[in-house]
Amino acid sequence: MKIGGLYLETQRPRAINRVPYVLFGLVVAVILYAGLNPDGKPFRNGATWSTDGPGLEFDGAGLAYTFPFVDEVTAERFRESGFTLEMVLEVPDAVGSKFMFLADFHDGSDANQLLLGQWRRWLILMNGDDYDHSRRLPRISVDLSSDLGRPLLVTCTSGVEGSRVYIDGVLRFEKRDVRLTIPGGLPSGRLVLGNSVYGDNPWTGRLGGISLYSRVQSPEEVRDNHTHRHGILALSPIRPEGCELWVPMVEGRGEIAWDRSGQGRDVAVRSDVTYLSRRVFDPLSSYGRFDASFWSDFRVNLFGFVPFGFLLMSLIAGSRKRGMIANIVSVTIAGFLLSVGIEFVQSWFPARNSSLLDLLLNTLGAELGAWLWVAFSKFLGRF
């Protein structure tokens, strides 16, 4: 450039290398896709009416529920007199380590809930949330290996003489030193079928009917109820004294399974409901057994954010206005904020869990990525 007869050498603006920005954008897109993917679970209730007889079929993304009805008076009646829970089921041959909820009496506290669930080929009846039995809380376990794939009448009783489980009128397991209770009070408890209130413990089977009594039925009554069943998937038409809920599930359509006990405790099967309560940032104490699934999630959540931290550090470290530690802190905070957003959104997704452990691992992964960039740069002599 010539100015006043003098030639001045000018420097062209250096082209910006867009490759790191593109790579960083791709990494963020992959993280968002992995974190916000609904995991193949629809946002509509998967509990549908059976087409070949009475009952509801659960496909792994649905639930049915009553409105809260176990208030203080009802809960006290159950505590004094005991209870009998009767269900007609077709139980699937389940594999894996996931605990599946068939029927859950829930009053807002997992520690108080009365749960009838399935783990692999075992039917489990218990109070509380000791799903992996690591705390050795009282429970009843019944092996269903010989009962899979056929309709069953499952009857559970509990009172002052202990707890029992009958299959088709035959006593299969008894514990005289275990008394289970139905929770309620303030807030009132409700009954949830085919899943947990959070929608993350789905059962995949068929439910033909359910009844509940505020007393312990005798072995003779249990046998009579099995003898007088109508059809292979229907409850007995006999409604003994103390009937609190009696839902034979014979409607075949609609969003209500009517309670025939006269108490008005109908079961809702709404197509737009896949959960009733959400947990944001499950505490670390919610993790029980450190199995293969746990360590797989551990690796994914930790190392999945390492590329994010590495590339973001490379983008901001070019500025000499801040020191290395300040840049690492900035990357760590960015990883934390991204993870917070993902975990919060996950709490509203069916079949996804919002976890404090995931948040900590994601943040640590971002910081680890930043430190790897520092080590890499020093190795090349550029830092």
Interval 190-219 mean pLDDT: 93
Amino acid, single-letter form, for residue 19: V
Across the strands, what pairs with 99? 119
Is pLDDT at 71 greater than 70 in this prediction? Answer: yes
Residue 103 · residue 191 · CB < 8 Å: yes
The Cβ of residue 59 has, within 10 Å, a number of other Cβ atoms equal to 16
User: Which residues are within 8 A (CB) of 51 and not within 5 positions of it... i.e. 6 or more apart?
Assistant: none
Categorize the per-residue pLDDT at 295 as very low, low, confident or very high, splitting at 50, 70 and 90: confident
Q: In the chain, where do the E strands start and end?
A: 2-3, 6-7, 47-49, 56-58, 64-65, 83-90, 99-106, 114-119, 122-127, 139-143, 151-159, 162-167, 170-175, 190-193, 206-213, 243-247, 256-257, 267-268
Residue 76 · residue 94 · CB < 8 Å: no
Interval 4-31 mean pLDDT: 73
| Residues 39-59: tens digit of each pLDDT | 656 678 889 999 888 899 998
**47-268: which CATH architecture?**
Sandwich (2.60)
Could you state, in order of their start, the residue ranges of all structural domains in the chain? 17-41+281-379, 47-268
**What pLDDT score was predicted for residue 211?**
94
Residue 18 · residue 26 · CB < 8 Å: no
**What pLDDT score was predicted for residue 132?**
86
Share of the chain above pLDDT 90, in %: 59
**What pLDDT score was predicted for residue 228?**
72
**What pLDDT score was predicted for residue 2?**
54
Interval 346-357 mean pLDDT: 75
Categorize the per-residue pLDDT at 321 as very low, low, confident or very high, splitting at 50, 70 and 90: low
Is pLDDT at 18 greater than 60 in this prediction? Answer: yes
Average pLDDT score, the chain: 86
**What pLDDT score was predicted for residue 320?**
58
User: Cα 192 from chain centroid?
Assistant: 13
Is pLDDT at 382 greater than 60 in this prediction? Answer: no
Q: What gap in Å lies between CA 357 and CA 202, rounded to an integer?
A: 23
Return the structure tokens found at 218. 């005798």
Q: What gap in Å lies between CA 46 and CA 204, rounded to an integer?
A: 10
| Residues 252-261: tens digit of each pLDDT | 999 999 999 9
**What pLDDT score was predicted for residue 14?**
56
**What pLDDT score was predicted for residue 87?**
94
Is pLDDT at 6 greater than 70 in this prediction? Answer: no
